[in-house]
Amino acid sequence: MSTSPAALAPSDSEAPAALVERLARAGRTAQRAVARLSDAAKADALRAAAAALRVDAPKILAANARDVAAGEANGLTGAMLDRLRLNPDRLESIAAAVDQVAALPDPVGAVIDTATRPNGLVLSRVRVPIGLIGIIYESRPNVTADAAALCLRSGNAVLLRGGTEAVHSNRAIHAALVQGLCSAGVPAEAVQLMPTQDRAAVGAMLTAAGLIDMIVPRGGKSLVARVQADARVPVLAHLDGICHTFIHAAADPAMAQAIALNAKLRRTGICGAMETLLLDATFPASGAVLGALLDSGCELRGDARACALDSRILPATANDWDTEYLEAILSVAVVDGLDAALAHIAAHSSAHTDAIVTADPDAAERFLAEVDSAIVMVNASTQFADGGEFGLGAEIGIATGRLHARGPVALEGLTTYKWQVRGSGQVRP
């Protein structure tokens, strides 16, 4: 079942669409074999893949050094180089993450619900893999291993297309993964890496409806926007994380301050970071909360009432309410109660994560019910928006679409279901 690199390589004359079709058909065939594997067999294969990553560490680090050197020569930013760079500790973390996914429970085969009809038919909805999943990502080589592990653990095959700046790292990680998986009986085509960096091949993946079942983009907003605009295949993604925290009149002041500081400043570059703070006009400690944020080095951009609370606050422009800063900048508005906060969030939220801080259970329940985001929180930091923090063990991404999975998506989110019907000869009258 294994495929040599030579067989995977595109011929000079092979058009991107033909290449994607060939890889996708091989992946779909492999997926049917993966779907028949037991829970234990999938877990064993992932542990073998993790072991192969450790054995191949010198090769992977050497390949990564080539990518980093090329990136430095090509003028990649420090942040991009940091995302690209591996070292023994980071590589061990990648292998350990594969082992952790191996240890998670298998979602495939779980019975969602079951019912018996008056005519004796027994109906069950049972989780099954989605099929062949395409992952399009940028410079982080850890995605190669993370995505492969999550897809395989949930019975799916995967077609990976990583960024050009990480091409050698990704090939070395992929080669190790496939060697480990094959040693445990998984077909090599269950985890394929696109053999060309031709951008047209990405377009061919996005339009491969019927061949690829779902696309997951992993990267910056421009990548996600392109994928969402061009894809004919369902996409699991979020574009923005414009997360709000509303401090209600009945919020505990100390809790409100601790949550606001953490939600904005713990890590400013993650999608669950707060980008807009809404302060109830009758909350008595707004000045203290804003002062603590300013004292911690956060730039505040406020509406007129917010600016009146501290002279260090800059005036916000209309764009600020729709901006995902991803740095130590926060927009701040003073609102007249829960209804005004809900209206602001309905107008400006990206439907990712929004939170209320309040000691009033009725206000909390209204917020939970009426804010229509993938994640709504009471009395907690929006920075908890994460598959690991939710106890999912891992995450393939966070989804803000309305169909299928929303919020942190891990193994269960990589499955769908079918109806199983068990009869005893029933014919329909």
Residue 378 within binding range of a second copy, rule CB under 8 A: yes
Residue 370 within binding range of a second copy, rule CB under 8 A: yes
Binding segment for a second copy (CB under 8 A), chosen from 29-37, 166-174, 195-203, 304-312, is 29-37
Alpha-carbon span 335 to 52, nearest angstrom: 56
φ and ψ of 123, to 5 deg: -110, 130
If the CB atoms of residues 333 and 374 are measured against a second copy, the closer one turns out to be 374
If the CB atoms of residues 95 and 261 are measured against a second copy, the closer one turns out to be 261
**Near a second copy by CB under 8 A: residue from 175, 223, 249, 255:** 255
Smallest gap from Cβ 4 to a second copy, in A, equals 26
Q: Which residue has the tokens 């990553």?
A: 53
Sequential DSSP letters for 205-236? HHT-BTTB-EEEEES-HHHHHHHHHH-SS-B-
Residue 36 within binding range of a second copy, rule CB under 8 A: yes
**Near a second copy by CB under 8 A: residue from 3, 196, 207, 379:** 379
Alpha-carbon span 377 to 260, nearest angstrom: 13
Residue 286 within binding range of a second copy, rule CB under 8 A: no
Contact 45, 58 (CB under 8 A): no
Residue 339 within binding range of a second copy, rule CB under 8 A: no
Smallest gap from Cβ 209 to a second copy, in A, equals 8
Smallest gap from Cβ 252 to a second copy, in A, equals 7
Smallest gap from Cβ 155 to a second copy, in A, equals 11
Token pair for 228: 């969402």
Residue 92 to residues 61, 183, 338, 382, Cα–Cα distance (Å): 11, 20, 47, 29
Cα angle for residues 121, 123, 126 (degrees, 5° grid): 155
Token pair for 415: 């499955």
Residue 32 within binding range of a second copy, rule CB under 8 A: yes
Q: Residue 102: CB partners within 8 Å, gap ≥ 6?
A: 42, 43, 44, 46, 47, 50, 149, 153
Residue 377 within binding range of a second copy, rule CB under 8 A: yes
Residue 259 within binding range of a second copy, rule CB under 8 A: yes
Pairing between β-strand 407-409 and β-strand 353-357 as defined by DSSP bridges: unpaired
If the CB atoms of residues 79 and 343 are measured against a second copy, the closer one turns out to be 343
Alpha-carbon span 277 to 295, nearest angstrom: 16
Would residue 425 be called left, alpha or beta, if left means φ above 0 and alpha means ψ between -120 and 50 degrees?
left
Cα angle for residues 167, 82, 394 (degrees, 5° grid): 80
DSSP run (H or E) holding 284: none
Decide: helix, strand or coil at residue 123.
strand
Alpha-carbon span 365 to 347, nearest angstrom: 20
Cα angle for residues 236, 237, 239 (degrees, 5° grid): 155
Residue 337 within binding range of a second copy, rule CB under 8 A: no
Residue 222 within binding range of a second copy, rule CB under 8 A: no
Instruction: Name which of residues 92 to 131 contact a second copy (CB under 8 A).
Output: 109, 115, 117, 121, 123, 125, 128, 130-131
Residue 368 within binding range of a second copy, rule CB under 8 A: yes
Smallest gap from Cβ 65 to a second copy, in A, equals 33
Residue 376 within binding range of a second copy, rule CB under 8 A: yes
Smallest gap from Cβ 424 to a second copy, in A, equals 6
If the CB atoms of residues 71 and 129 are measured against a second copy, the closer one turns out to be 129
Residue 154 within binding range of a second copy, rule CB under 8 A: no
Residue 419 within binding range of a second copy, rule CB under 8 A: yes
Residue 213 within binding range of a second copy, rule CB under 8 A: yes
Smallest gap from Cβ 290 to a second copy, in A, equals 18
Residue 381 within binding range of a second copy, rule CB under 8 A: yes
Residue 416 within binding range of a second copy, rule CB under 8 A: yes
Q: Residue 333: CB partners within 8 Å, gap ≥ 6?
A: 276, 277, 278, 279, 302, 303, 305, 306, 316, 321, 344
Contact 322, 345 (CB under 8 A): no
Residue 406 within binding range of a second copy, rule CB under 8 A: yes
Residue 394 within binding range of a second copy, rule CB under 8 A: no
**Near a second copy by CB under 8 A: residue from 61, 258, 292, 340:** 258
Where do contacts with a second copy occur on this chain (CB under 8 A)?
A: 32, 35-36, 109, 115, 117, 121, 123, 125, 128, 130-131, 209, 213-214, 228, 234, 252, 255, 258-259, 261-263, 266, 346, 355, 364, 368-370, 372-381, 383-384, 389-391, 401-404, 406-408, 416-428
